[in-house]
A = this chain, B = another copy of it.
């Protein structure tokens, strides 16, 4: 019996292929079996970032991620069940590869352990197969670079919040930190903007979408068009104090 394959959760960074790490690029180029998540009907963000490294020698395993039209999808039990089934099926598929001795690279947008789908494969497979996680540049860092302002400095508290949270929880979260990033906007943008305004932070809040990619959009949150914000957009509220030394 051959020894089992190695599972690699590889962060490909926020969008610009050049923001992939040297290690990620090496592992993608040298591993034959490449898996990635993609929303049904879409090419997949992580796949698009890595596309320049993929050749005919690669074997691609696409994992279709179920799509919901509900604005606050993760509060829906039915959608949670759909997701769990998706992760179960994907883990079974990768298990076949790993058991057969094939290494597998899972492409992850941003960083694998920072709100990423990879963690649900990791939890199902890492106890049984040798596993390495390669960290990546998160949308957090790309968002700060996009607005060209420091995110946090000194002894400030930086919080990452989800746009899916109710307005009251967003306001409380914003009030207990010095700088914040709100991820998972999409249809939540208008409610998020109200929370940011209620916390008195609209004056220094930015809207960023597709950070670091050619499609990057970056403007004051007050001016953002709530009718078209993608899920992978974010609000960046940089430190007010940063740079004051």
**Residue positions of A touching B, CB distance < 8 A:** 11, 13-14, 16-23, 25-26, 74, 80, 83-84, 87, 111-116, 119-120, 122-123, 126, 131, 133-138, 140-142, 144-145, 148-162, 164-165, 172-173, 176-177, 184, 212, 242-245
* B145 near A133: Cβ-Cβ < 8 Å: yes
Task: List the B residue with the shortest CB-CB distance to A156.
Answer: B162
**How many whole Å from A104's CB to the nearest CB in chain B?**
17
Cross-chain contact B141 with A11 (CB below 8 angstroms): yes
Residues of B within 8 A of A161 (CB): 157
Contacts of A156 in B (CB 8 A): 162
Distance of A184 Cα from B155 Cα, bound (Å) = 9
Please indicate which of the listed interface residues A21, A112, A159, A242 has the most CB atoms of chain B within 10 Å of its own CB.
Answer: A21
A133 touches B148 (CB 8 A): yes
Interface contact B21-A137, CB-CB below 8 Å: yes
- Chain B residues contacting A122 (CB-CB under 8 Å) are 150, 243
A152-B115 in contact (CB<8A): yes
For A245, give its contact among B84, B134, B155 (CB under 8 Å). Answer: B84
Q: Which of B25, B137, B184 contacts A137 (CB 8 A)?
A: B137
Provide the residues of chain B in CB contact with A11, threshold 8 Å. 137, 141
A186 vs chain B, min Cβ distance (A): 13
Report which of B22, B87, B114, B245 forms a contact with A141, defined as CB distance below 8 A: B114
Q: Is the CB of B22 within 8 A of A243?
A: no
- Contact check, A162 vs B173: say whether CB atoms are below 8 A apart: no
A18 to B10, CA, bound (A): 13
A245 to B138, Cβ gap below 8 A? no
Query: A135 touching B126 by the CB < 8 A rule?
Result: no
Complex-state Cα separation, A243 to B91, whole angstroms: 13
